[in-house]
Amino acid sequence: MIKMYGFWRSAASFRVRIALNLKGLAFQEEMIDLDTGEQNAPAYRAVNPQAAVPTVIFDGGPRLTQSLAILEYLEETHPSPALLPPGPTARARVRSLALLWAADHHPLIVPRIRSYLADVLRQDEASRAAWIRHWFREGLAIGEQRLAGDPETGAYCHGDAPTIADLCLFSQAIGARGFGVDFSDLGVVSRIVETCMLRDEFARSVPLRQPGAPARH
């Protein structure tokens, strides 16, 4: 059985959860409570010295961190259904979109950044909320510019099957909604998010359906 250390609200855990579901791989998720700082406790730092989720331990296999590395590992070890398209140009486009959200925007809103804003820079809650909403919104707006009018965009970010770009877009967009970001004006992004939501593998991966999530947040 695959074991994942995650957290209900974690976007990085969310994208790996979707991939495991799409590939039909059974896994058990242990929640590391990021709200109480459990990621910083010695017990979890022994698992991942970066004090971040996800960490995935494969039965008889490696212990991996960094969601995109985990997604690539899953793709190489369980290639069906494919979450990367064939051909180097298409794969580069998908990875580029995935990195836009997962590498350039998501890291700006994680707990360690929010704590620094609060504890070191003394930003009040309203300023921190504005920061979070700004980076969510910018990532989605840039995504819209890249996706709209590009003939490679289909029902999903690339063609008519989900790729790792959709996992990253969906997790970022659902997280944005959770923080009150309205992106209904971003037509292609909104359409792809709704297309993903129609699939059970995406829908049952959403934060509010995970153990420990509040009834609403």
Ligand X SMILES: N[C@@H](CCC(=O)N[C@@H](CS)C(=O)NCC(=O)O)C(=O)O
CB 5, CB 44: distance < 8 Å: yes
Q: Which stretch binds ligand X (CB under 6 A): 62-70, 73-81, 185-193, 202-210?
A: 62-70
Residues 145-164 that bind ligand X (CB under 6 A): none
Decide if residue 111 touches ligand X (CB under 6 A): yes
Sheet strand arrangement including 27-31: 27-31, 2-6, 55-57, 63-65
Give SS3 for 63: strand
Decide if residue 128 touches ligand X (CB under 6 A): no
Decide if residue 20 touches ligand X (CB under 6 A): no
Q: Which stretch binds ligand X (CB under 6 A): 85-93, 104-112, 191-199, 200-208?
A: 104-112
Q: How far is the CB of 16 from ligand X (least distance, A)?
A: 8
Return d(Cα 135, Cα 28) in angstroms, integer: 31
- The 26-55 site mask, x for binding ligand X (CB under 6 A), equals --------x----x-----------xxxx-
Cα–Cα separations (whole angstroms), residue 18 to 22, 174, 200: 6, 13, 9
Decide if residue 178 touches ligand X (CB under 6 A): no
CB 180, CB 141: distance < 8 Å: no
Cα–Cα separations (whole angstroms), residue 102 to 21, 28, 97: 19, 23, 9
Q: Which stretch binds ligand X (CB under 6 A): 18-26, 64-72, 92-100, 132-140?
A: 64-72
Q: Which stretch binds ligand X (CB under 6 A): 63-71, 84-92, 135-143, 181-189?
A: 63-71
Decide if residue 196 touches ligand X (CB under 6 A): no
Decide if residue 66 touches ligand X (CB under 6 A): yes
DSSP notation for 152-176? TB-SSSSBTS--HHHHHHHHHHHHH
Decide if residue 102 touches ligand X (CB under 6 A): yes
